[in-house]
Amino acid sequence: MPKKRTRTKGEALLGFLILAILVLIGVMVFLQQFQFNPAVTAHRILEGGMEQFSSDLPSTLVPLPDNFTGMTPLESFTPETLYEKINGQADFYLASGFLGLKSQRYVHTDNQDMWFEVFKYDMGTKENAFAVYSQQYREDGLPLQWAEFAYYAANALFFVHGQDYMEMRASSTSDDLVAAMHEVAKKYVASHQNPKL
């Protein structure tokens, strides 16, 4: 009869140690499932919204005249998040090849009621940019000469620059505010002489 081999004290200790670790891991997994991180399922929201918090972006979208400063952070929207900014108008841009929107408000340093907002729609091509420009054209708009397609209507400027369709909307029809907006638009076009087409 062969002699039965008995386990050593060290083997038993090692066995208990491994079992204890396995039980501990099991308990941790069991407890963790009750603390599911919602960020895991929020990835789509983050993908669209992260850029507005990125420190790599310039602080202003356009060159500002004296007495104006940034009123809000530079915001960025994708085709998935455009509706958050312009709601029911989003489908109009999406149908014309919209790729992205950047927008920002600027305010007069001495008068908080004097502000304007710049919308820069990246439409992918110059043709797409012209499509949204022409479909929204205001009949009473006054043509402007510093861009191929540009006009001014009451309190707002609208123009095409390369593949971008741009709008600048003022909070009032104040002469100073409208003049500042014109200056911004002209400087922007002059400083971006070779836009993507």
Partner 1 sequence: MLHLIKIQNSDSVGRREFLTRCTKAGLSLTTACALAYWFYDPMAPSGRQKVDVLPGLPDYSVPEMGNRMAIVRGTDRAKTIRLALEAIGGLERYIRPRDRVLLKVNAAFASPPMLCATSHPDLVTEIARLCLKVGASSVIVADNPINDPASCFALSGIEKAAREAGAKVVLPRRDSFRYFTLEGGLLIREWPLLYAPLQSVDKVIGMAPLKDHHRSGASMTLKNWYGLLGGRRNIFHQDIHNIIKELSMLLKATFVVLDGTATMMRNGPTGGSLSDLKETGTMIVSTDPVAADAYGASLLERTLDELPFIKKAEAEGVGMSDYASLNPKILTTD
Question: 105 or 187: whose CB is closer to partner 1?
Answer: 105
Of 59, 71, 89, give the one whose Cα is nearest residue 177: 71
| Residue 157 bridge partners (DSSP) | 152, 168
Question: 97 or 141: whose CB is closer to partner 1?
Answer: 141
100, burial (CB in 10 Å: exposed 0-12, middle 13-18, buried 19+): middle
Q: Per-residue string for binding with partner 1, 1-20, x by CB under 8 A? A: xxxxx---------------
> Which residue type occupies 119?
F
Say if CB 151 and CB 158 are below 8 A apart.
yes
Q: Does 51 bind partner 1 (CB under 8 A)?
A: no
Q: How far is CA 15 from the centre of its chain?
A: 56
Q: Per-residue string for binding with partner 1, 120-159, x by CB under 8 A? A: ----------------x-xxxx-----------xxxx-x-
Question: According to CB under 8 A, which residues from 62 to 121 bind partner 1?
Answer: 72, 75, 83-92, 105, 115, 117
- The rounded distance, in Å, linking the Cα atoms of 77 and 99 is 9
Q: How near is the Cβ of 116 to partner 1 at its closest, in Å?
A: 10
Residues of this chain that interact with partner 1 (CB under 8 A) are 1-5, 36, 38, 40-42, 72, 75, 83-92, 105, 115, 117, 136, 138-141, 153-156, 158, 167, 169, 171-173
